[in-house]
Amino acid sequence: MTTKIWSEEELKEASSGLEGKDPEDAIRWAVENFYPDLALACSFGAEDVCLVDMQTKINPRVKIFYLDTDLLFKETYDIRDRLTKKYGISPIQYRPAMTLEEQAKAHGDKLWATNPDLCCKIRKIDPLLEALKGLRCWITGIRREQAPTRANAPVVEWDKKFNLVKVNPLAMWTINDVWNYIHKHDVPYNILHDRNYPSIGCAPCTKPVKSGEDPRAGRWAGFQKKECGLHK
Ligand code: SF4
């Protein structure tokens, strides 16, 4: 069987057709068109736990992966383990080629404080390239409301940076939609969300936010940086 190559026009059409529909419809579309060459990228944040719940109900065999930077919060490993147990999934771990010690030797101690872009490249982007190898589609939890850089995210798009189809089932959702889903379906979530961490990344680059602050204000506080480069 030949593998279908999707044109940008066809992807735009698919995206328009899924606009206003439920996130599950976007996941079903991705599974129907790309299984088994697709995966859900999971950082175990509030959006991603919704997607794990939806995806395992649609097709529990779709690959789920996460990027372990060696700098995640203990609470992130806890939620990984709770999801693994509840849904019977096996999230695949991708790690940086360098240990933290090797990185410190090559680029200096605490690279995240001196050159976070390089640190994200080593600990996130390069492992993501490994995770996406051989795939035709990846599913992510980005939402338009999260940041100006995400405001125009379509439901389906061609990811020019990584050269595969990207599906954003929650693109249209508000944060209330996310939490309504979590409570309605009793989905386990990272307890740091209850401690004023709306957006959770690596421990050195994630701070709690104050009431009324931008939900991503706690990420790379003190830097202009607002994205790790996975979704640019
Ligand atoms: S989020 Fe911070 S610690 Fe994590 S990879 Fe990026 S710069 Fe490094």
What is the C-alpha to C-alpha distance for residues 151 and 49, in angstroms, rounded to an integer? 21
Confidence at 232, pLDDT banded by 50, 70, 90: low
pLDDT at position 1 is 64
Give distance in angstroms: CA of 116 to centre of ligand 1: 6
pLDDT at position 39 is 98
Average the pLDDT over each of 53-57, 196-200, 218-222 and give the range with the smallest value.
218-222
Please tell me if the CB atom of residue 229 comes closer than 6 angstroms to any atom of ligand 1: no
pLDDT at position 212 is 75
Residue-wise pLDDT for 156-191, tens only, equals 999 999 999 999 999 999 999 999 999 999 999 999
Instruction: Give mean pLDDT, residues 16-21.
Output: 98
Give the residue numbers annotated as catalytic, written as ranges. Answer: 228
Please tell me if the CB atom of residue 71 comes closer than 6 angstroms to any atom of ligand 1: yes
Residue-wise pLDDT for 192-210, tens only, equals 999 999 999 999 999 888 8
pLDDT at position 227 is 67
Q: Which CATH number describes the domain made up of 8-205?
A: 3.40.50.620
Residue-wise pLDDT for 39-50, tens only, equals 999 999 999 999
What is the C-alpha to C-alpha distance for residues 82 and 190, in angstroms, rounded to an integer? 10
Q: What is the model's pTM?
A: 0.93
Mean pLDDT of the chain, nearest integer: 94
Q: Which two tokens stand for residue 30?
A: 């991705």
| Structural domain spans, the chain | 8-205
Separation in Å, CA 120 to CA 1, 124, 150, 167, 229 = 38, 5, 19, 22, 7
pLDDT at position 169 is 98
Give, for ligand 1, the residue of 71, 72, 197, 207 to mutate: max count of ligand atoms closer than 8 Å to Cβ. 71
**Which atom of ligand 1 sits closest to the CA of residue 204?**
3
For the beta carbon of residue 17, count every other beta carbon within 10 angstroms. 14
